Amino acid sequence: MSERLQKFLASAGLGSRRQIEDWIRQRRIVVNGQPAQLGLSVSNADRIEIDGQDSGRACGQGRIGRDDVVGGLGIGSWSHWPMHQQ
């Protein structure tokens, strides 16, 4: 099952859909080695990088998956990412 990138990442607790849309416009998100585009659909099989870091490895989960949200990724685990630093 696939869903839009911004919804997928927002569901994982990485930011709001609007904030993630801004990151897409700023070319901060890469999917399968290609810069993400608004409207792109992704699934658990896709490799997603934000600011050059694998989106799943940053939280020790291997890869973000829709089901991982239920288990609680913990937003605090993302605080070391550049986009969350003040």
7-54 pLDDT tens trace = 999 988 888 999 999 999 999 999 999 999 999 999 888 999 998 888
Instruction: Report residue 83 as tokens.
Output: 């986009």
**Whole-number Cα distances in Å, 7 to 1, 17, 48, 85, 86:** 13, 6, 13, 22, 24
Ordered structural domains, the chain, with CATH: 3-70 (3.10.290.10)
- Read off the pTM: 0.65
pLDDT band at 55 (very low <50, low <70, confident <90, very high): confident
Stronger pLDDT, 84 or 14, i.e. the higher one: 14
Q: What are phi and psi of 8, to 5 degrees?
A: -60, -50
